[in-house]
Amino acid sequence: MASSECRNPWLRGEHLPLETFAVVIVMPGVPLKLIVGLGNPGPEYARTRHNAGFFLVDELARRLGGTFRSESRHQGDLAKVRIDGTELWLLKPMTFMNRSGGPVHSVAGFYKVPAESILVAYDELDFQPGVIRLKQGGGAAGHNGMRDVIAQMGDQFWRLRIGIGHPGDRAAVLNYVLGRPSAEDSRLIDEAIAAGLDVVPSLISEGGQKAMHRLHTRSVPPGGASPEP
């Protein structure tokens, strides 16, 4: 019986050309390009709980030397910054909270930013002041600004949810979010925002899982929410 021909070039002692091999490099980081802070424009809302998202992008711009400029075509204020060589746009929609999606869609479309490269920061009633959580995807959980962003962009963008606490009575929520936090709550919110900003470089370079682990394992005030999966 004739022996079967060996079809494996390695077993035949042949050398394959370099072009035969493909090298795949997996980048673990999130290619973040746009960070959005949700809030309401105007001095009467400047320090209200509902503007926690504005607080976050204002602080990031301050840290990185960015300057917000009004962009009427996008209905928002924009700033450009760099984090470890990565260029990012910061956006504060100027359309009021319930219409936040339009400016996000406009900026993302103009700069060709996919939803997966967007991070949206906003106030979260379900978390106590001092708590901040990072996640990708999900629903609006009753937040009107987030509902409008999801309607415009889908739900696969990243979120930083900044705890502001809950008044305990659903009927009191509107006045609560449009009110100013106490001095102690304001301090806790600022600390949470600082912690959230500290993990943004990790999100970009190391990916969501490591960034979430770093953020969610920090100590939180008594009564704070447990990390979500």
CA dist., res. 106 & res. 62, Å (int): 24
pLDDT at 9 over 60: no
pLDDT-derived band at 25 (thresholds 50, 70, 90) equals very low
Residue 90, both tokens: 């910061």
What sign results for the dihedral spanned by CA atoms 174, 159, 90, 146?
negative
CB contact burial 10-25 (16+ within 10 A = b; e otherwise): eeeeeeeeeeeeeeee
Is there a contact between 76 and 102 (Cβ–Cβ < 8 Å)? no
pLDDT value of residue 218:
87
Catalytic residue list: 50
CA dist., res. 147 & res. 84, Å (int): 32
pLDDT value of residue 219:
75
Name which of 24, 119, 35 is nearest 80 in CA terms: 35
Q: Which residues contact 124 (CB under 8 A, 6 or more apart)?
A: 131, 133, 141, 143, 161, 162, 163, 164
pLDDT value of residue 15:
57
Quick: pLDDT tens for 158-212: 999 999 999 999 999 999 999 999 999 999 999 999 999 999 999 999 999 999 9
Is there a contact between 185 and 162 (Cβ–Cβ < 8 Å)? no
pLDDT-derived band at 215 (thresholds 50, 70, 90) equals very high
Q: pTM for the full model?
A: 0.85
Q: Which residue has the tokens 């008044």?
A: 167
pLDDT at 23 over 70: no
CA dist., res. 125 & res. 25, Å (int): 40
CA dist., res. 102 & res. 104, Å (int): 5
